[in-house]
Amino acid sequence: MRVKTWSGEFEVQVREDLPPAVRIVNAIIEKLVHAPEGRTEVRMQDLPEQARIDWPKIVNRLKILASVDPVAFPKARAGRFELFENRGHFWVRVEFPPGAAPESVCLVWRPAPVAA
């Protein structure tokens, strides 16, 4: 799956044996954890249509990941997840110990407007 970001496009590997919302979140967070530029922003409108359909599930999964101990989520063993919401934007910040990885990386999603 290709995902567009403000800093370019990247390919993410998606496991087909997981529910769609979980696959999308896991793939993007894996990219964020390994982001060399230290910050990656992903726009909701640039994600696959399935991400828009599963938006509530994706947000719930991000909230769960933000609240669990990092050891419980393999991709975050080196850091800590935080979830922020501000005017329809959701931020997932991954903070790492100094020297382990970029100081922080951010994922920004803005829900697509709901058709009337």
pLDDT in tens, 11-23: 656 566 666 666 6
Confidence of residue 114 (pLDDT cuts 50, 70, 90): very low
What local confidence, expressed as pLDDT, does residue 93 receive? 57
Helix, strand or coil, per DSSP, at residue 17 = coil
Tell me what pLDDT residue 102 has: 41
pTM of the model: 0.40
Q: What is the pLDDT of residues 30-87, one digit of tens each?
A: 665 555 544 455 555 556 666 666 666 666 666 665 555 444 444 444 455 555 555 5
pLDDT band at 106, cuts 50/70/90? very low
Q: How far is CA 62 from the centre of its chain?
A: 7
> How far, in Å, CA of 91 to CA of 74, rounded?
20
- The C-alpha torsion from 57 through 59 and 64 to 65, rounded to 10°, is 120
What does 83-109 look like in DSSP terms, one character per residue? EEEETTEEEEEEE--TTTS-SEEEEEE
